Structure 1
Amino acid sequence: MGKPWRKLAMTAGSAALGMAAVLALPATAQAAPSAPCSERAAACIDLSANTSWLMDNGAVTYGGVPITSGMPGYETPPGSFQVTFKNIDHWSRAYDAPMPYSVFFTTSGIAFHEGSLSEQSHGCIHLSNAAAKTYFNALQPGEVVEVVP
């Protein structure tokens, strides 16, 4: 069964859009690419598309949103992970940097968090402020995060 609270994570614009507006799209408009993750994923990251989504039973509930990921030498690892913990006001001692709205999903310290969308990270997934808040509120320890190359 889906998680009804996830439906609240939809953007106000998409909720207000309505079916009539969707049907009115011009024939040349293309649908946004779907998330390339399994039904188990609560969050999906497509590294090649620099995009992430929140999901519920295979259905996108938020996104795709733009991301940046690990720079050369600090690549974000592909695979299936679980959210380990969250920290709304985390500070990286390793890089002496703030990591607001951190949602950690690897044992090596990789997390979703608010960060630059123009600069790559040391392995983390940078999100805009709004997306970082949404991910922080939506994801819970134990939920699956899938990262595809």
Structure 2
Amino acid sequence: MTKRSHVRCRRSRLVRGRSSLAALATLVGSLVVLGAAGASAAGVPGVAPREDDGTTMCRLSTGPYQRQVEKYLGLPEDGKQSAQDCAAIQSVQSAYGIVPADGYAGLVSHRAAVVDWATRHKASLTGCAGRSRLVVCVDQTRQLLWVRQGKKIAFGPIPARTGMPGHRTRNGSHRIYKRVEKFWSSLYDAPMPFSQFFDRGEALHASHRPIFEDPGSHGCVNVRYADARALWSLLRVGDGVEVFGRRNGN
């Protein structure tokens, strides 16, 4: 078995605001919110400044995942953006390093809201059978990963990124059969740190890309570098990997 023939993985603005208020108002009218140093959003429809420093704009237009984000963040589920919604979404965006942190309920914000919810509701993480030994649970629908031992969650939940259309991560019950801490993919000419292979060329490994962004992987399960390192210390050859659900997005 060669690394080239079996690895299917890939490694893979705020636009600076214009200084004039007139230009800012024009752009806001098209539902694109731009932060401008020294510019005030007072009186501009669809925009509100954040309460922290007044310079980061809050996008008050309703996003395509508005109701889902409201649900996961415990907000009133009316499917309409409000200043309260926007501030809560901005907080989650900032916590997960999402740029721009504009409070808009798009797909990336939805994925972050799911992780935020999951960390507060671990008992609700279902779909992965408990075993006497460790099993990695990969929920493709919610783009989550956690490790279970029996009825106890031993690690996570954390955000994960699975395969894009045409390179779907294969669902099913697997076991880790090989671990390579400093793996280099000759197929993609890319580093894949802390690789733990569980199904032919599919592996759990670190990614340096922002974890919530599209496109998905070429079949591997991508996690953040620190999470991959923690999984490396926790797991061993023979531990289980359960993959289920279907990724929403590219």
Aligned to 1:112: 204
| Greater helix share, structure number | 2
Q: Which residue of 2 aligns with 1:36?
A: 127
Contact 1:35 1:44 in 2 (8 A): no
Q: Which residue of 1 aligns with 2:232?
A: 136
Indicate conservation of the 8 Å contact 1:37/1:58, yes or no.
no
Runs of 4 or more above 3 Å deviation: 27-30
Bigger RCO (CA 8 Å, 6+ sep): 1
Q: CA deviation at 1:127?
A: 0.5
SS at match of 1:68: coil
In 2: Cα distance, 1:137 partner to 1:31 partner: 25
1:64-75 aligned at under 5 Å gives the runs 64-75=157-168
TM superposition shift of 1:35:
4.0
Q: Would you say 1:148 and 2:244 are equivalent positions?
A: yes
Aligned-partner SS, 1:63: strand
Aligned CA-pair RMSD: 1.9
Query: Whose strand proportion is higher, 1 or 2?
Result: 1
Distance 1:35 1:102, change over 3 A: farther
Bigger Rg over Cα: 2
Check whether the contact 1:90–1:102 (CA below 8 A) recurs between aligned residues. yes
Could you tell me which runs of 5 or more consecutive residues in structure 2 were left unpaired when the two chains were aligned.
Answer: 1-73, 76-116, 246-250
Q: Where does residue 122 of structure 1 map in the other structure?
A: 218
- Amino acid of the structure 2 residue aligned with 1:95: Y
For 2:239, give the aligned amino acid: E
| TM-score calculated relative to the size of structure 1 | 0.75
